[in-house]
Amino acid sequence: MSLLSIKNLTVRFATATGAFTAVDGIDVSVDKGEVLAIVGESGSGKSVSMLAVMGLLPDTATITADEMTFDGRDLLKMTPAERRRLIGREITMIFQEPIASLNPSFTVGFQIEEVLRLNLGLDRRAARARALDLFRAVGIPEPEVKINAYPHQMSGGQCQRVMIAMAIATNPRLLIADEPTTALDVTIQKQILDLLMDLQERYDMALILITHDMGVVAETADRVVVQYKGRKMEEADVLTLFEAPKNPYTRALLSALPENATGDRLPTVADFMASEAVQ
Amino acid sequence: MTIVVEGRALTQDYHVRSGLFSKASTVRAVKGVDFAVERGKTLAIVGESGSGKSTLARIIALIDPQSGGSLKIEGEEVNIARRRLTPQMRSKVQMVFQNPYGSLNPRQKVGDVLMEPLALNTSMPADERRDRAEAMLAKVGLMPEHFNRYPHMFSGGQRQRIAIARALMLNPALLVLDEPVSALDLSVQAQVLNLLADLQEEFNLTYVFISHDLSVVRYIADDVLVLSKGEAVEQGSREALFADPQHPYTRQLFAATPVTDVAAIRARVERRKAARLARQHT
């Protein structure tokens, strides 16, 4: 049985010019210990469906789904109190801008200890000890010093490590990472992806990776969902997707990668969609 | 072959104060970089954040004066700290920035964006400026009706087209492109890279292309300069550099760049399966 199961999810936003459908009938499921990548370009609704799971969408959003369950529990029928016990403990999330995700007015130590005290009921001393353990687990150098640092005193890569430490503090069963390395340099991106994969294996967490980067998908995913304009275009295991993509949009995305350029020109998605339409 | 832009031992120092009363210290952001680019060619400058690549781009684009070393544009020595930039020289070098949302004035119509460089740097009459702007709009793949629209009405890719059109209005010899496609989606990135290739061929343009993305560099560059902590650790032709990177930093960059070829993915999937089995047995 899958850990998270979503069927026919639709998310609409009320806008000044009428309703806008950001996610249109998407099915997503992820198994225990599995790495699922959701790929798409801006406007594909790849983040919105996961924000709906987390309950982080604004009031203007209308969420409907035939099914939305986590470990057999129905997320749609849950009371807010039940939901709060689940979100942030069993399902956690990290975001694209690590520096913006942290509160600039408090030390990173205070912020991670707050998570530990609230969610695990640890006292001050135990929280500090656990925070140091987590900092070591995510590879922050000199954890005793860094725990008293403010976010602006750390690099983007280190802030993302702090966010990851916070996200795994409660031993979650599902971690959702929304473009976790987009703001980072390639060498730092590699370190963060290696860290996420290492933690995922060590704690046997499920990981949903939201990304626009086919390279990141190739390096991490077990299974891939490709989204375009709020619809699911294709779902396949990672090898099949790169070896024999079925959907024209997936083929277009893969051939737009500069490393796959065969002639002088890069085929664009528009070229692809046009040639498909002709056939 | 004519050299369009040449830098010799270029350096850039920034004076930073850590506190109100502390003594200023000097940070050398660019530490003596040499390069030369022939007409119609593309030099890619690759590096990570803090490598000094944007600092170098601003020197080459004649926005900031260098602290030391010499810069020649079409054989003519330029140092904007000593002598004011002439309109002729300004016309020769133009720049396209990374963020098309930040580099266009939200209150300026697209037509005015394109005509402004001509109004500032030439004595061209207004109706000719207008004709030129309309023609350029078509060149970069936009429509005549876009002339009177504001930047917010365009997508990121279209805005980057506008920024490129503005840079080309003065018929420059050299275009400095600072991460021009890194804010764009993959499919839009492909369109803009194609456009840049077309324009280069048509106008025999010389590009200095700043990027952190090796797959883009491999596609567009003739020569590559790898910058790390302000130093050019490796430079050479694209073929040589990609076939056999010499410097440890270049190799590190290559190792960190995700690979999308099927053999590599298959190997990773196999490794993961084996690791999973091993865990189950213990």
Phi, psi angle pair for A133, to nearest 5°:
-60, -45
**How many Cβ pairs closer than 8 A exist between chain A and B?**
105
* Mean pLDDT within B120-133: 94
Answer whether A257 sits within 8 Å of B194, measured CB to CB: no
Q: Where are the alpha helices (DSSP H) in chain B?
A: 53-60, 87-92, 110-121, 126-139, 156-168, 186-203, 214-220, 238-243, 248-256, 262-281
Q: Report how far apart, in Å, the C-alpha atoms of B11 and of each of A60, A154, B32, B47, B227 are.
A: 53, 27, 5, 16, 13
- CA A242, CA A217: separation in Å to the nearest integer? 10
Give the pairing of strands B68-73 and B76-78.
antiparallel
Judge: A256–B255 Cβ closer than 8 Å, yes or no.
no
| Of the candidate ranges A11-25, B10-24, B236-250, the one whose mean pLDDT is the lowest | B10-24
Q: Which residue of B has its CA nearest to A192?
A: B256
Q: Is the pLDDT of residue A262 over 90?
A: no
**B139 vs B157: CA distance, rounded Å:** 15
Q: Do B190 and A269 touch (CB under 8 A)?
A: yes
Beta strand pairing status for B76-78 and B93-96?
unpaired
Q: Is the pLDDT of residue A206 over 90?
A: yes
Q: At what angle do helices B126-139 and B110-121 cross, to 10 degrees?
A: 130
At B177-222, the pLDDT tens digits run 999 998 888 888 888 999 999 999 999 999 999 998 898 999 999 9
Looking at the partner chain, which of A187, A222, A257 has a beta carbon nearest the beta carbon of B215? A257
Closest CA to A131 of A121, A116, A118, A119: A116
Mind listing the pLDDT tens digit for each residue in B25-37?
888 999 999 999 9
Nearest to A214 among B252, B257, B260 (CB): B260
Give the Cα separation of B27 and B210 in Å (integer). 21
User: What average pLDDT score do residues A8-33 get?
Assistant: 92
Identify the residue whose tokens are 């939201």.
A210
The minimum CA-CA distance between A263 and chain B, rounded to whole Å, is 10
For chain A, what percent of residues have pLDDT higher than 70? 95
Contacts of residue B252 in chain A, CB cutoff 8 Å? 187
Q: Which residue has the higher pLDDT, A110 or A100?
A: A110
Residues B167-177: tens digit of each pLDDT: 999 999 999 99
Question: What's the confidence (pLDDT) of residue A263?
Answer: 66
pLDDT digits (tens, 9 = 90+) for A131-172: 999 999 999 989 999 999 999 998 888 999 999 999 999 999
- Chain A residues with CB under 8 Å of B258 CB are 189-190, 213, 215-216, 218-219
Residue B253 and residue A186: Cα distance in Å, rounded?
7
Here the tokens at position B267 are 């190997």
Rounded CA-CA distance A21/A13 in Å is: 6
CA torsion sign for A128, A134, A137, A138 is: negative
Residues of chain B contacting A238 with CB distance shorter than 8 Å: 265, 269
Pairwise CA distance, residues B167 & B142, whole Å = 15
Which residues in chain B (54-113) have CB-CB distances under 8 A to chain A? none
Any CB–CB contact under 8 A between A31 and chain B?
Answer: no
pLDDT band at A238 (very low <50, low <70, confident <90, very high): very high
Rounded to a whole number, what is the distance in Å from the CA of B169 to chain A's nearest CA? Answer: 24
**Both ends of chain A: CA-CA distance in Å?**
40
Question: Is the predicted pLDDT of residue A277 greater than 60, yes or no?
Answer: no
φ and ψ at A6, to 5 degrees?
-125, 130
Q: Which position has the higher pLDDT, B282 or B47?
A: B47
CB atoms within 10 A of CB B113: 20
* Bridge partners, residue A210, by sequence: A38, A178
Helix, strand, or coil (residue A174): strand
- What whole-number distance in Å separates Cα of residue B15 and Cα of residue B13? 7
Chain B residue with minimal CA distance to A252?
B187
Q: Do B258 and A258 touch (CB under 8 A)?
A: no
Contact A269 B257 (CB under 8 A): no
For residue A62, what pLDDT is reported?
Answer: 93
Whole-prediction pTM value?
A: 0.86
Q: Which of B32, B26, B37, B43 is nearest to B10 (CA)?
A: B32
pLDDT at position B268 is: 93
| Token pair belonging to B45 | 């400058």
Task: Answer yes or no: are the C-beta atoms of A5 and A69 closer than 8 Å.
Answer: yes
Cα A76 → chain centroid: 21
Please judge whether B190 and A189 are an interchain contact, meaning their C-beta atoms are less than 8 angstroms apart. no
Question: Closest approach of chain A CAs to the CA of B80, in angstroms?
Answer: 32
Per the listing, tokens 């709009």 go with B137
- pLDDT of A168: 93
Does the pLDDT value for residue B241 go beyond 90?
A: yes
Give the start-end residues of each E strand in chain A.
4-15, 18-30, 35-39, 61-64, 67-70, 73-74, 91-94, 174-178, 206-211, 223-228, 231-237
Q: Which residues have CB under 8 Å from A18's CB, separation 6+?
A: none
Of all residues in chain B, the percent with pLDDT exceeding 90 is: 76
Distance CA A262, CA B151 (A): 34
Evaluate whether A226 touches A241 at the Cβ level (below 8 Å). Answer: yes
Q: What is the CB neighbour count within 10 angstroms for residue A19?
A: 10
Please tell me what DSSP assigns to residue A87. Answer: B
Q: For residue A278, what pLDDT is reported?
A: 52
For B258, which residue in chain A has the nearest alpha carbon?
A: A215
Confidence category of residue A265, pLDDT binned at 50, 70, 90: confident
CB contact under 8 A, A218 and B191: no
Which pLDDT value is given to residue A275?
62
pLDDT digits (tens, 9 = 90+) for B60-75: 999 999 999 999 999 9
Q: What is the pLDDT at residue B48?
A: 86
- Assign B56 a pLDDT band (cuts: 50, 70, 90): very high
Residue A127's pLDDT is 95
Residue among B216, B260, B276 minimizing CB distance to A218: B260
* Nearest by CB: B258 against A42, A218, A253: A218
Average of per-residue pLDDT across A66-85: 92
The B residues from 245 to 274 touching A (CB cutoff 8 Å) are 252-253, 255-262, 264-266, 268-269, 272
